[in-house]
C-alpha cells in the first residue's frame, strides 16, 4: 500500500510539473516563471490537502522530495526541448501539441493525486467520512491545476469545460466503495485509471457539464 501511494505521489508530481511548465511556456514565461509555475502546479494540491487536514507545515515543506522531483522533471523537460530545437526538428510540432501534452499530464496527475488525497484523508482517521474523503481527494487532484490557471490569468479549467472536477469526484467515490471489497492498492489503481479514462473520453468527445446564462431583459 505504501509503495502504491508513493508511486502515485511521484506520478502526480511529475505529470503536474510538466503540465505547469508547458502552460508557462505557452504563456511566454522565463526560466523562473516556468520553474515556479511547474512546482506550484505539482505541489499546490497537496499543500491545500494538508492545510485542510491540519497538517502544518505541509508535507511539501517537510519532505523536500516532492519539490526536488518537480524541479528535476522541469529541468529535464526543458533540456529535452532544447535538444529538440537544436537538431532542427520542426518547432511547430512542439507548439501544436502543447494543449495535448497539458491534457495528458493533467489526466494522469488528476487521477494520481485524487487517490493520494483520498487515502491521506482515510489514514487521518476519517475512513467513514465520505464527504471529507471525496472533498480532500478533489482538492488534492484539482488544486494545483487551479493555481496554474490563476497564475496564467485564465478561468480555472475545472469550472469551464470538459468533465474535469467531476472525474475526480467520481474517482474518489469509486475508491471509497472499492476499498470495502478490494486491497487498498488495487482499489487506488483502478480508481485512478477510471479518472484518467473519464478525462480522455470527455476530452475526445468534448463532453462538458451544462452551462446556464441569464438573458438580459428586453428593452
Q: What is the pLDDT of residues 173-207, one digit of tens each?
A: 999 999 999 998 999 999 999 999 999 999 888 88
- Tens of pLDDT, residues 23-65: 999 999 999 999 999 999 999 999 999 999 999 999 999 999 9
pTM: 0.88
Phi (first) and psi of residue 6, to 5 degrees: -65, -40
Q: Smallest Cα–Cα separation from 105: which of 35, 23, 46? A: 23
- The whole-angstrom separation of Cα 36 and Cα 21 is 8
State residue 3's pLDDT score.
84
Is residue 87 scored above 80 in pLDDT?
no
State residue 131's pLDDT score.
97
- Tens of pLDDT, residues 95-136: 556 677 777 888 899 999 999 999 999 999 999 999 999 999
State residue 81's pLDDT score.
84
Cell of 122: 482515510
State residue 213's pLDDT score.
86
State residue 27's pLDDT score.
94
Amino acid at each position: 500500500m505504501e509503495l502504491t501511494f508513493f508511486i502515485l505521489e511521484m506520478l502526480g508530481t511529475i505529470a503536474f510539473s510538466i503540465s505547469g511548465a508547458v502552460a508557462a511556456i505557452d504563456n511566454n514565461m522565463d526560466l523562473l516563471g516556468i520553474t515556479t509555475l511547474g512546482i506550484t502546479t505539482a505541489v499546490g494540491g497537496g499543500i491545500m490537502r494538508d492545510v485542510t487536514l491540519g497538517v502544518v507545515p505541509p508535507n511539501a515543506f517537510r519532505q523536500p522530495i516532492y519539490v526536488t522531483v518537480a524541479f528535476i522533471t522541469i529541468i529535464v523537460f526543458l533540456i529535452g526541448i532544447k535538444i529538440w530545437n537544436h537538431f532542427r526538428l520542426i518547432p511547430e510540432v512542439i507548439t501544436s501539441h502543447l494543449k495535448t501534452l497539458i491534457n495528458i499530464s493533467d489526466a494522469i496527475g488528476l487521477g494520481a493525486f485524487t487517490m493520494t488525497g483520498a487515502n491521506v484523508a482515510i489514514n487521518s482517521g476519517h475512513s467513514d467520512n465520505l464527504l471529507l474523503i471525496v472533498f480532500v481527494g478533489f482538492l488534492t487532484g484539482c488544486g494545483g491545476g487551479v493555481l496554474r490557471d490563476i497564475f496564467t490569468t485564465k478561468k480555472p479549467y475545472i469550472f469551464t469545460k470538459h468533465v474535469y472536477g467531476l472525474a475526480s469526484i467520481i474517482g474518489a467515490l469509486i475508491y471509497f466503495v472499492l476499498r470495502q471489497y478490494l486491497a487498498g492498492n488495487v482499489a487506488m489503481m483502478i480508481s485512478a485509471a477510471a479518472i484518467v479514462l473519464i478525462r480522455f473520453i470527455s476530452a475526445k468527445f468534448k463532453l462538458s457539464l451544462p452551462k446556464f446564462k441569464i438573458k438580459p431583459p428586453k428593452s
